[in-house]
Each structure stands twice: as C-alpha cells, then as structure tokens.
C-alpha cells in the first residue's frame, strides 16, 4: 500500500544561535531509533534537526527515516501533519535515507502492511515487511557494497524487510548471497534493510551526507 506519489524538536548538531555552515539534515523523530542516527550524523559533522512537525521538514536539506515500526511511524506522521510535507519534499528532490522501517516507508509498494498502511514513496520498489520472520530470527551478514568500496559492510538485520521487486528507476546497491536485494537507491533516495547506525560503520551515512551536500550546492 502506498501514498501517492523524547527529544524536543531542535537542532542536535550545533548550539542554539550557532550559524550553520553545512546544510541541515533532519531525522524523523516520531518513533524508533532516531537518536542513534542523530549521533552518527553528528559525529560526521552534520547539523541535525529532529523532525516532528511540518515546519521542521521545511528547514532541512535531507532527511533520515529510522528503523522502528513502519505502521506506527506512518500513523504518527499523518497525525502530526508531517507525512504530506515529507512526500512533497521527496517529490521536490530532497535526499532521503531510510533504514529498515524507513525503507518500507520509502517504497512505492508495500507487501504485508497492516490495513490502511501508507508509505511516503520515492523508491520504485516493492518491499515485504518482516521478510525474515520475528525478532528472534534477526541475523548479521557481511555485504559487498560497491559504491562504498572495501571492506565489506557488517550488516545487522532486525525484523528486516527486503526488496522483492526492483522497478526500472531504482538501482540495487547490495544483496545477500542468494540475490535478495537489501539496499537500493533512486536518485537522492536511499534505503537499506539493515541498521548501519548500530555497527559503527558510518559509510552509508557519509554517502548520504555527500548526496545532501551535492544537491544543496547544485551538484
């Protein structure tokens, strides 16, 4: 199913009143592990904004959608009036990175969603929720990610989704040994089934920040 296509909302990466020299990056802070993403982004020098309201969506140059429960994030995003603002910014070309539940929310087509579940869209893919089963079926794997170079990325999968159909507009960035796609990109929109914010490997976040910087500078 798809939509067509406790931290106060504040800047986390710089002190109040500090002029920004980098494009501000938002983390959708409605539910899930948004604090972990903010910590990684801040460690890489980003100015981070916790996003809970439409006006905060307007302030940012890129957005990270964290892991959590995709149906809950969807409901809260619509309740807080954030969903329409995010959809509009994605359609306008804002870079977005979604991990796990975030990948589900960026998929144009969602399989196994609850009744009425919607997504922001932006990735021409079909994604299946909880593709590996319950949380007890969580696992780790080494992934070759050519756009990130060597070494392979140690990836953590927790109630992870997978990409079941890759549309012509999207590109696979990484797959499991059986060919299952677990990382995908379409222009400035990036999604991973796994949680790089949990492993200390910051390359996906840096890759995303480089995209934000390039888009902000007209690259």
- Say how many C-beta atoms besides its own lie within 10 A of residue 101's C-beta: 26
The sign of the torsion formed by the CA atoms of 4, 75, 55, 185 equals negative
Judge whether 155 and 201 are in contact, CB under 8 Å.
no
The token pair at 10 is 């504040």
Q: What is the pLDDT at residue 218?
A: 74
Rounded (10°) CA dihedral 92, 212, 38, 182: 80
CB atoms within 10 A of CB 165: 15
Backbone φ, ψ for residue 56 (5° rounding): -75, -30
pTM (predicted TM-score): 0.88
Catalytic (active-site) positions: 100, 195, 197
Element (H, E) at 163: strand 162-166
Q: Domains for the chain: give ranges and CATH numbers.
A: 25-216 (3.40.50.880)
Please list the rounded mean pLDDT of every run of 10 residues in the chain (219 residues): 32 40 92 96 97 97 96 96 97 97 97 91 94 74 96 94 96 96 97 95 97 85
């Amino acid at each position: 199913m798809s939509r067509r296509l406790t931290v106060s909302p504040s800047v986390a990466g710089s002190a109040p009143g500090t002029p920004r020299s980098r494009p501000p990056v938002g983390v959708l802070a409605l539910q899930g592990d948004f604090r972990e993403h903010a910590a990684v982004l801040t460690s890489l020098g980003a100015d981070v904004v916790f996003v809970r309201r439409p006006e905060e969506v307007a302030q940012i140059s890129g957005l990270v959608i964290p892991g959590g429960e995709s149906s809950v994030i969807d409901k809260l995003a619509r309740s807080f009036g954030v969903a329409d603002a995010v959809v509009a910014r994605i359609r306008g070309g804002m870079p977005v990175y979604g991990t796990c539940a975030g990948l589900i929310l960026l998929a144009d087509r969602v399989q196994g969603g609850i009744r009425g579940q919607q997504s922001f869209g932006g990735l021409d893919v079909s994604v299946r929720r909880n593709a590996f089963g319950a949380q007890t079926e969580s696992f780790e794997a080494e992934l070759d990610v050519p756009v990130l170079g060597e070494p392979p990325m140690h990836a953590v999968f927790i109630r992870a989704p997978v990409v079941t159909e890759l549309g012509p507009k999207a590109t696979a960035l990484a797959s499991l040994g059986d060919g299952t796609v677990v990382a995908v990109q379409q222009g400035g929109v990036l999604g991973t089934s796994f949680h790089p914010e949990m492993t200390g490997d910051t390359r996906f976040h840096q890759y995303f920040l480089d995209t934000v910087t390039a888009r902000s500078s007209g690259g």
